[in-house]
Amino acid sequence: MTGVEAINVVTPAAVRPTLGRQPRRKRMIDRGFRGVLWASIGVAVLSLIVLLWYVVSNGAATFTPRLWTRFPSLINPELSGARSAVFGTLWVLGVTAALAIPIGVGAAVYLEEFARSDRWYNRLIELNIQNLAGVPSIVYGILGLAFVARGPLGLGFVVLTAGIILALLVLPIVIIASREAIRAVPSTIRQGALALGATELQTVRRQVLPAAMPGIATAVILALSRAIGEAAPLILIGAATYVPFTPDGLDSRFTVLPVQIFNWVESPQEEFVALAASACLLLLVILLGMNGVAIWVRNKYQRKW
Amino acid sequence: MTSAAGSMGSPGPRDLRGPGLTRSRRRYGDRISIGFLFLCAAISVITTIGIVASLVPATLDFFGDVGVGDFLTGTDWAPLFAPPRFGVLPIVAGTLVTTVCALAVCIPFGLGAAIWLSEYAHPRLRATLKPALEILSGIPTVVYGYFALKFLSPIVQEWWPIGDAPGVFNALSAGLVMGVMILPIVASLSEDAMASVPIGLREGAYALGASRAEVATRVTVPAALSGIVASFVLAISRAVGETMIVLIAAGGTPNLALNPGEAMQTMTAFVASAAQGDLPQGSTGYKTIFAVGALLFVATFGMNLVSSRIVRRYREVYE
């Protein structure tokens, strides 16, 4: 293996200086540094394993179809399920996806492809999205309480309110990550399309968006899996109340799985805490499925330019 | 518009010039589409206006009942009791302590993991590990809350080194678990930033005789600094704004202390627990939710403004 061959490989880990060896002291530092990094990644991986193990070992016993076939009971954990929460989660997530995906991708396309950065309003939007990404989720709950559920929109404590709030909450995630994906498409592809006579919109629709699609899909799935686990803003718009029915429309009262888990964790009865673990497990299974799809999409379609 | 089209075509019949390089006609559909895309982007501004509009009136109302100075410097927080006390410092302290605990976990380990993933890991291992870590940040915060309360808290109680063992509810277990939750965000965003540093920079450093540790710490990290700082700031605002973990595991008692072994209430946990109760709309207690929310919003917003300034100053652009 010659040095030239080694350097031609494009991945960072494969780049190894082969001409001569480092001095001994440097090599010691290098080894120590690598050990510290190993410890860091170890902490992360170990936490994940312990957490999954703990949830599975505590929740497996009561992880039965009862969870999604029976409604919650306030007194009897043996008969209690989370049917209303499971269906509430599906309803709310559907509304969130229907709002957040088109708006988020549209905003990302506008900001990356059409916004002239010398216009004050475009700079304002950009600054705004960055800042919104850091706004705590509970503040969105306050917005929902004062503005959507009550106040000007006055929709009430219903599925639609929850969907709107979660969509607004994940919108910055969708926008920022989609922008990254769009930005990663090399400008030569745009120039090529434009040189062949395509309009800017045609270039975006037929060249840039397809090329950025794996990244955008990953962004959307990750944003939705953030939405599915949110409890705090929904507590403010009434999801923590006792709901023994499934939603039958956008104007129906609702609860969601994370809020159901929260109610069960707070219970002094150990049986309810075990149910909380089972519901956690259910939530994790759904999330693992979503993440699996995201990973698959990314690994299958992502390329480095 | 017809006059503009006419003046464009006036030097002579268009077809004589052949297939020109100017566009043949205006595309109004394009303008409408771009207008629609602009509206999508503008929704973010509307959201911010909505947040401000929902916070400000109620907060001003609140400060009609309670003095600003009493609120910001008071050390006694019991807004829902009789007589109510409105000193916000105890729940600010709760937020501070849990956030520091979280940062102590997520910044060093997150950055370490990012450097390892970017500079050391075999590409195939990285392709497996990075998504696995992102699963950690995708785990719902209620699950972390459950984990903090039922798993970590007993361990913290048992291994507490000095003085009295903490109670079931303590800021430390909530904060540490919060750090684990945020770690992958730091790791993933920092790794993204490092991955976008051109390979040529690393090759140059290696050619000059740098070791891997030197390349990582003196080339890659400085070149990706803007992204790394951005990930730290996002970590802080996630920690400050995190609700469910602290609501479940840190306890519900406002406590002006810096000892992470004690039970504490954070600002977010206060808002969530106050909103669960049946507070009559328009009461001072109800308005407290908005005042604390405004404080949270201002704190995170200010932090983000500062950070985006830092990011702009240090951003390196490679094309």
Query: Which residue of B138, B146, B212 is in closest CB contact with A277?
Result: B146
Query: Could B146 and A280 be called an inter-chain contact, meaning their C-beta atoms sit closer than 8 Å?
Result: yes
A258: closest chain B residue by CA: B142
Residue recorded with tokens 């240090």 = B314
Question: What span, in angstroms and rounded, lies between the C-alpha atoms of B289 and A43?
Answer: 37
C-alpha to C-alpha distance for A282 and A234, rounded to whole angstroms: 19
Structure tokens at B316: 């390196």
User: 């950009």: which residue's tokens?
Assistant: A126
pLDDT at B164: 77
Task: Write down how long chain A is.
Answer: 305
Location of structure tokens 């020109």: B20
pLDDT (0 to 100) of residue A9: 47
Q: Do B109 and A142 touch (CB under 8 A)?
A: no
Which of B30, B37, B248 is the closest to A262 by Cβ? B248
Backbone φ/ψ region at B251: left (φ over 0), alpha (ψ -120 to 50), beta: left
Burial class, A197, CB count within 10 angstroms (exposed 0-12 / middle 13-18 / buried 19+) = exposed
- Which of A17, A43, A240 lies at the smallest CB-CB distance from B276? A240
Give how far B73 is from chain A: nearest CA, Å.
23
Question: Alpha-carbon distance A287 to A106, whole Å?
Answer: 26
Q: Touching check for A285 and chain B: CB below 8 Å?
A: no
The mean pLDDT value of chain A amounts to 86
CA B178 to chain centre: 13
At residue A301, the pLDDT reads: 79
Which residue is closest to A289 within chain B, CA to CA?
A: B135
- Do the Cβ atoms of B131 and A226 come within 8 Å? no
Which tokens belong to B33?
């589409």
Q: Write out the DSSP string of B272-287.
A: HHHHHS-PPTTSHHHH
Partners of B78 in the β-ladder: B85
Do you find a cis peptide bond into B83, omega within 30 degrees of 0? yes
A219 CA to chain B: closest CA distance, Å? 12
Model pLDDT, residue A15: 52
Q: Do B147 and A54 touch (CB under 8 A)?
A: yes
pLDDT at residue A101, rounded to an integer: 94
Long-range contacts of A81-85 (CB under 8 A, 24+ apart): A82/A257, A82/A260, A82/A275, A82/A279, A82/A282, A83/A246, A84/A243, A84/A244, A84/A245, A84/A246, A84/A254, A84/A255, A84/A260, A85/A243, A85/A255, A85/A256, A85/A257, A85/A259, A85/A260, A85/A279
B237 to chain A, closest Cα gap in Å: 6
- B86 forms beta bridges with B77
Answer yes or no: are the C-beta atoms of B264 and B251 closer than 8 Å.
yes
**pLDDT higher for B64 or A95?**
A95
Per-residue model confidence (pLDDT) at position B10? 43
Q: What is the pLDDT of residue B8?
A: 42
Does residue A5 register a pLDDT over 70?
Answer: no
* pLDDT of residue A200 exceeding 70: yes
**Tens-digit pLDDT profile for residues A34-79:** 999 999 999 989 998 999 999 999 998 888 888 888 888 878 888 8
Q: How confident is the model over A254-288, as pLDDT tens digits?
A: 999 999 999 999 888 888 999 999 999 999 999 88
* Interface A-B: count of C-beta contacts within 8 A: 313
User: What's the full length of chain B, in residues?
Assistant: 319
Distance from CA of A247 to the nearest CA of B (A): 21
- Asked if B272 lies within 8 A of A232 by C-beta distance, the reply is yes
Residues of B in contact with A132 (CB under 8 A): 44, 47-48
Q: Does A81 touch chain B (CB under 8 A)?
A: no
Provide φ and ψ at B86, rounded to 5°. -120, 40
| B138/A11 touch (CB, cutoff 8 Å), yes or no | no
How many CB atoms within 10 Å of residue A71? Answer: 16
Interface probe, candidates A11, A110, A138, chain B, greatest B C-beta count within 10 A: A138
Quick check: A256 contacting B, CB < 8 Å? no
Does any CB of chain B come closer than 8 Å to the CB of residue A280? yes
Cβ atoms of B44 and A129 within 8 Å: the answer is yes
User: B176: which 2 tokens?
Assistant: 């540490």
pLDDT at B80: 81
pLDDT of residue A208: 92
Are A287 and B135 contacting, i.e. CB atoms less than 8 angstroms apart?
yes
What is the torsional sign of CA B37, B42, B43, B44? positive
Q: What is the DSSP string of chain A?
A: --HHHHHHS-SGGG----SS---HHHHHHHHHHHHHHHHHHHHHHHHHHHHHHHHHHHHSTT-STHHHHS---SS-TTT---HHHHHHHHHHHHHHHHHHHHHHHHHHHIIIII--TTSHHHHHHHHHHHHHHTS-HHHHHHHIIIIIISTTT---SSHHHHHHHHHHHHHHHHHHHHHHHHHTS-HHHHHHHHHTT--HHHHIIIIIHHHHHHHHHHHHHHHHHHHHT--HHHHHTTTTS---S---STTS----HHHHHHHHHT-SSHHHHHHHHHHHHHHHHHHHHHHHHHHHHHHHH----
Q: What's the CA gap between B149 and B168, in Å, rounded?
A: 7
Top-confidence residue, B97 or A303: B97
Q: Which residue of A has its CA nearest to B290?
A: A142
Cα–Cα distance measured from residue A186 to residue A27, given in angstroms and rounded to the nearest whole number: 38
- pLDDT tens per residue across span A178-196: 999 999 899 999 999 999 9
- Strands in chain B per DSSP E: 77-78, 85-86
Quote the percentage of chain A above a pLDDT of 70.
Answer: 92
Intra-chain end-to-end CA distance of chain B, in Å: 39
Give B40's contacts in chain A (Cβ within 8 Å): 102-107, 110
Nearest Cα neighbor of B154 from B162, B166, B164 is: B166
Predicted confidence at residue B23, as pLDDT, reads 62
Distance from CA of A249 to the nearest CA of B (A): 24
Q: Is A153 on the interface with B (CB under 8 A)?
A: no
In chain B, what residues touch A277 (CB-CB under 8 Å)?
A: 146
Partner-chain contact B54 A147, CB within 8 Å: yes
Determine phi and psi for B77, rounding to 5 degrees.
Answer: -120, 105
Quote the pLDDT of residue A143.
Answer: 93
Put simply, the chain A residues between 4 and 63 with a CB less than 8 A from any chain B CB are 7, 10-17, 22, 26-27, 29-30, 33-34, 36-41, 43-45, 47-48, 50-51, 54-55, 58
Q: How far is B37 from chain A (nearest CA, A)?
A: 5
Question: Best residue in A4, A49, A51, A99 to probe B by mutation, most B CBs within 10 Å?
Answer: A51
Q: What is the mean pLDDT of each run of 10 residues along chain B (319 residues)?
A: 40 50 70 91 92 92 87 86 86 94 95 92 86 80 94 90 84 94 89 88 91 91 87 87 93 86 92 82 85 91 75 67
DSSP B209: T
SS3 label, residue B77: strand
CA distance A114 to chain B (A): 7
The verdict on a CB contact (< 8 Å) between B138 and A168 is no
The residue assigned the tokens 């048992």 is B158
